[in-house]
Structures are given as structure tokens and as C-alpha cells.
Amino acid sequence: MPARARSRAIGRPRQDAGVAARELLLDSAMGLFAEQGAAATTLAQIAARAGVTPAMVHYYFNDRDRLLDAVAGERLLPTLTSVWAPVAETTDLLPMLRGLVRRILKATELMPWLPGLWLREILSDGGQLRSRVLKGMPFEYVRHLIATVAAAQQRGAISRDLDPRLVLMSVLGTTLLPLATMRMWHEIPVMQGVSREDLARHAEALLVSAFSAPPNRHSRGK
């Protein structure tokens, strides 16, 4: 084998193999972060799950901070954008909410690590991905949702007791949070058998009913 070929075989991987290895390392990192948290996950554990040497982690990401940047920038933020961007295509509140719930459930079906990762690393204090995600989160779509809710209130279509700023919490609280804690709920006898389909149907019905009910006479400002 020529010296140049031996050098490439020992050191830098081929381009196609390198792309696959890098993606596999990101997949492994996200799975471990969701299971045990980023702080408790070592680079050696990520390498072991991916089936490569720890040196490969350092080759692709240099250090832990760059790995965290890649998880946030290449996986989490594109996923969030794909879920939220269609919100801007309508000002009709109910289809907007239905679509949002369905896209969240679809994203978590394709990426089962997402609910656990969101709970551990975004919502929890000390999460190592929180600042990275919040810095790039597509808040313009959230603002569009807030404005749509506020406009519906001004038309008298929904209750003024609803706070448009808290719609985001309502959406996440009826989707990602139950998904992240599904295993725990399945240990409770009366909750056994609850499926993702049950959750999707319930979340959609709950949000749609809440945001389609006309204001009652006791609503704020009446």
C-alpha cells in the first residue's frame, strides 16, 4: 500500500464514511443525552454507542462544546423550525393549532429522543443545550401564533381569560411533556394502554376546544 493511502487509512476517514460516522455520533449523543442527560454523558460513552473510537469524536467535533453546538444547530433547531414554520402560512387559529400538534407528534415519532432531550436539556435548570437552542429558536413563528390568538380575542371569538403568551406552554405541555414521561404513566394501572395516538387525539381536542369556545360573560374585561 502506498504511503499516502496508508496515512489516510490510519488517520482521516474517507469522505463518505466520515459523513456517516459524524451523523452516527450525533445520533448517539442525542440518545444518551435524552436518557441520562448531557452532563452525565462522556465522549467515551458517545463513541462506544456509535461503535467508534473516542478519537473519532475529537476528530469531528474537537471538543465537547462543539459537539453540543452541533446537536443544537444541526438537529434540534432544524427540527424546531420544520415544526413551527408552517404556522406562518395561516391566520386561522384552529387549523394552526391542529397542524402544530400533528407536526410535533410526527417529529417525535421520527426522533424518539426529542421529548426526553427537551425535558432534560431545555426545560430543566442547568440543561447544557438550553442557551444554545434559545439563542437560535424561531421565535418569529411563536410571535405569529400569539398575534393570531390576540386577534381572535379582539374579534370576540375566544375568551379573553386566555393569555396569548402562554399558548406555547399549553402546546408543549399537552405534547412533549406527556411523551417524555410516558414510561412513568404506563406504570400506573389506570393509565396503561395509553398510546401516542390517544395522546395526539387528546392534545388536539383539548387545544381546539379551549381556543374555539366563545367568551363567557365572566371573562376579563366584560
User: For the domain that residue 181 is a member of, what is the CATH number?
Assistant: 1.10.357.10
d(CA 184, CA 188): 7
Q: Is residue 186 part of a domain?
A: yes
Question: pLDDT tens across 94-111, in order?
Answer: 999 999 999 999 999 999
Q: For residues 207 and 101, is the Cβ–Cβ distance under 8 A?
A: yes
- Average pLDDT on 71-93 reads 95
Q: Is residue 158 part of a domain?
A: yes
> Tell me, what amino acid is at 41?
T
**What b/e string do you get for 13-29 counting C-beta neighbours within 10 Å, with b at 16 or more?**
beeeeeeebbebbbbbb
- State the pLDDT confidence band at 90, using cuts at 50, 70 and 90: very high
> The domain containing residue 83 runs over which residues?
72-210
Question: pLDDT tens across 137-193, in order?
Answer: 999 999 999 999 999 999 999 999 999 999 999 999 999 999 998 888 888 898 888
Q: Is residue 22 part of a domain?
A: no
Q: Is residue 147 part of a domain?
A: yes
Is it the case that residue 48 has pLDDT exceeding 80? yes
Number of domains in the chain: 1
Q: Is residue 4 part of a domain?
A: no
Alpha helix ranges (H) inside 43-192 = 43-50, 54-61, 64-70, 77-84, 93-110, 114-118, 130-136, 139-154, 167-173, 176-180, 182-185
Decide: helix, strand or coil at residue 159: coil
Q: Is residue 120 part of a domain?
A: yes
Q: Is residue 200 part of a domain?
A: yes
d(CA 22, CA 99): 32
The sign of the torsion formed by the CA atoms of 129, 131, 132, 136 equals: positive
